[in-house]
Structure 1
């Protein structure tokens, strides 16, 4: 089974079971050990995955880290676990103390949901205070899965991971700074753009006024870029379907005309679901009776149907039993009101 499918299955299990997990020990067994297994390490082999790993730390004796993964007789990754209910903090972590007395270049701090990978980029043999890789296993992106794969037993290469860690760490930090600036622009960030468009003196009052303008401008720019890419993908798919349909002679009285309003409804459904699915899995089929949106182009997996050609407009939604439920809408923008139902429909198919 591919690692991305295994990670998705573990994420679904975590979402389902976490409220029933009460202790750190339960977190280890239910969430962390399965993750180690996904990386290809045998958790039942005490020479490969060592629980309660102990190393001599000067005057400190008997301190233990939860797990150490060994390869060729040497630890390659030490792991400290917390309960899934705990926030992770590296301060006072035993990982710091163990890192410099073992041969490992990597340490992992996790609560079974959030994973933080550390190495020694800032000072050799001293663990960095900031992780070079951090993720929430219940909301993984493809680029993060590619980084996780590098820790798989069959792929593990210390030098390759360390060489990439610096780029990964600083890219992550830059993304965090961008996010901070978009949420609450700093004076320096605002002045950078205000200086280019405002001819007057940047007083404190002017800078305050530009904060809102810069924030709105960036958010609109990002939204427009997303819409442009989405429309380009849809137009490409439409062109492909058009080329395919031109090869088939259709009697004039059975031709179906897909309206711009129907396509706009499809774009709204894609915009809602793209957080959970690749856009190429969301496909539309127009019929004489309705405009249908399907998962994986499968008639047995209807996402919704739009009825827009009559005097009254409707959207058909589907419950767990695939029963069709019609809801009236005034405009195509009302499709946004059914975000929860659309996401639940997708989740029911993915869990089936």
Structure 2
């Protein structure tokens, strides 16, 4: 169900422009299909819920979810075109203190932030303990989300786990940010473990490049291993001289790469797409022979890092995504895709392209 809702969000986000449309298209289906409550039963889901707070009279929170006759969950919605920010949660903060609810949700229909009162009793925390992104679902969170569903609703269990969830989530997001764009402290921390010389400005500049490249290669390797296991592909040993040489990057080479990549941003989605293509064609060649090369207009997947041997091109730098497939004449055919999973639909063509170069 979560996958179906995520697909709906991807397909319809372009035409959802108001808060009401966001609630109808995304939030109500979330309450119904994911949490399992009847959105048309006012004894379970109360829209435009009112609870007077001090001098604030008649203010409303978008939804209150009732379980066993008590308000248990409060939901505040913003339109999908806006990012989710804590500044949008003023009503949630006020209502949290005057109702029995122990869970508050702030959402734009795509991102769902779950709050409770870990820091002070009956006062909503400023930071969520759980963040669900329908565009990038973390499956490890699904069992915790399930505890809030109507059939199970184990509030004590999720509250007891909320502290760990909160800090694990923050740590994961912090690590992701460091992998994407490492900060000086992170660079210095890693440099000190592999370099014994003085940490000068020149060394910092060189290792900024090296840490960034090493992070991307590490993520590539992790994703590739998971994909190979999922596809049942053979695991080739990569200890031959050419593969070893390719895995070693000197500072001068890294500097040259950085200069060449000026203005080019390699996204995680492109890297994931590359790893999917790589995993597909490793039935024909060793994974070490499948290379990537990013440019401003497309992300290329090549055999032997040779421009004359293109396997695929990922055109992700635009609203409509395409995968470029190559035939026997090496002419590119662009095929629109809505998700990375659709790359698997071109398995036969991708393998045939690689086989034609062998």
Q: TM-score, normalised by structure 1?
A: 0.66
Aligned residues of 1:84 and 1:112 also touching (Cα < 8 A): yes
Distance 2:182 2:55 in 1: 48
Q: Unmatched 5+ residue regions in structure 2?
A: 236-270, 285-307, 313-324, 346-358
1:55 equivalenced with 2:48 (yes/no): no
Structure 2: distance between partners of 1:347 and 1:227: 15
CA RMSD of superposed structures (Å): 3.7
CA distance in 1, matches of 2:148, 2:198: 53
Instruction: Name the SS for the 1:328 alignment partner.
Output: coil
Q: CA deviation at 1:226?
A: 3.4
The SS at the match of 1:126 is coil
Q: Is the 8 Å Cα contact of residues 315 and 326 (structure 1) preserved in structure 2?
A: yes
C-alpha separation in 2, matches of 1:185 and 1:271: 20
How many Å separate the matches in 1 of 2:44 and 2:188? 55
- Runs of 4+ displaced beyond 6 Å: 273-276, 282-286, 312-316
Q: 1:99 aligns with which of 96, 99, 106?
A: 96
1:192-203 mapped onto 2 (5 Å cutoff): 192-203=189-200
- 8 A contact 1:66–1:81 mirrored in 2: yes
Partner of residue 32, structure 1 = 27
Once the two structures are superposed, the pairs formed by residues 70-109 of structure 1 within 5 Å of their partners are 70-91=66-87, 93-109=90-106
Q: Deviations over 1:244-289 (max 9, x none)?
A: xxxxxxxxxxxxxxxxxxxxxxxxxx9638779xx8xx79999xxx
Deviations 1:37-83 (A, max 9, x none): 11111111111111111112111111110110011111110011111
2:158 aligned to which of 144, 158, 161: 161
TM-score (norm 2): 0.65
* Displacement after TM superposition at 1:181 (Å): 1.8
Number of residue pairs matched?
Answer: 272
Write the deviation string for residues 80-137 of structure 1: whole angstroms up to 9, x where unpaired.
Answer: 1111112222225210111111111100111111111111112221111111111222
Equivalent position of 1:21 in the other structure: 16
Correspondence for 1:272 = 273
Q: Look up the SS of the partner of 2:135 in the other structure.
A: helix
Tell me what 2:328 maps to: 328
Unaligned runs of 5+ in 1: 1-5, 240-269, 287-311, 317-324
Partner of 2:188: 191
User: d(CA) in 2 for partners of 1:111 and 1:50?
Assistant: 18
- Residue 64 (1) aligns with residue 60 (2): yes
Structure label with greater radius of gyration? 1
Task: Say yes or no: does 1:44 pair with 2:45.
Answer: no
> Partner of 1:8 in structure 2?
3
Distance 1:315 1:223, change over 3 A: closer
- Residue 108 of structure 2 corresponds to residue 111 of structure 1: yes
Match of 1:136 in 2: 133
Alpha-carbon distance in structure 2 between the residues aligned to 1:117 and 1:339: 38
SS of 1:91 mapped into structure 2: helix
Q: Find the aligned partners of 1:231 and 1:25 in 2 and give their Cα distance.
A: 43
Say whether the 8 Å CA contact 1:315–1:328 is kept in structure 2.
no
**What's the CA shift string for 1:151-177, capped at 9, x where partnerless?**
211121111111121111111111121
Contact 1:119–1:132 (8 Å) recurs in 2: yes
Question: Cα 1:208–1:67, aligned 2, differ >3 Å: closer, same or farther?
Answer: same
Q: How far apart in 2 are the matches of 1:271 and 1:232?
A: 15
1:242-253 to 2 correspondences below 5 Å? none
CA distance in 2, matches of 1:21, 1:89: 19
Cα displacement string for residues 20-41 of structure 1 (whole angstroms, at most 9, x for unaligned residues): 3332112212211111111111
Alignment check: 8 A CA contact 2:224 2:275 kept: no
Which residue matches 1:208?
A: 205
Distance in structure 1 (CA, Å) of the matches to 2:111 and 2:220: 28
